[in-house]
Amino acid sequence: MTNRQLRKLMRSASATHLTRLGNKLRRFFLCAVKPDYVEQMIQHRAGECVQCGKCCKLVFKCPFLGGTDENPRCMVYEGRPKPCVAFPIDERDLADVNFQCGYFFTDQKAPASDLVQIPLPAFSRSSQAAQKLATDI
Ligand code: SF4
């Protein structure tokens, strides 16, 4: 994942309602118009749904979401719409639920691996010596 992609992802990680609405519409569009793409993305998905119900409350609370806050239940689980079955289609969807989902994507680097970049200061002679000493030990 490039830094540009990561920045874009982090922006969506603090998703506004508008971003979440856009992503909800995107999921409906992809499931209706690009089912092959959705299937392809689902192949890269690992983990399992822990039925937390977070994706059922994006933008608005689904009217078919029953149960309690601690134990949410989908009342139409067997016949739920394709965008519900397909959630998350990609990491943008995970960002919508602040990455608190039982699913994750296997073929992409974890965002943190790109995020943690500590710029090293230019080495002075003494720090070069210290580094050599450290490698010699
Ligand atoms: S957010 Fe993820 S784990 Fe929670 S209900 Fe939706 S798909 Fe399942």
Which atom of ligand 1 sits closest to the CA of residue 50? 3
Please identify which residue in the block is written with the tokens 């299937």: 39
Place of tokens 């965008």: 83
Please determine, for residue 66, whether its predicted confidence score (pLDDT) is greater than 80: yes
pTM (predicted TM-score): 0.66
Distance 5 CA to ligand 1 centre (A): 23
Check whether the bond before 88 is cis (ω within 30° of 0).
Answer: yes
Residue nearest to atom 8 of ligand 1 (CA): 49
Question: CA-CA-CA-CA torsion for 58, 61, 67, 68, nearest 10 degrees?
Answer: 80
Q: What is the pLDDT of residues 33-51, one digit of tens each?
A: 999 999 999 999 999 999 9
Which pLDDT tens digit goes with each residue over 76-88?
999 999 999 999 9
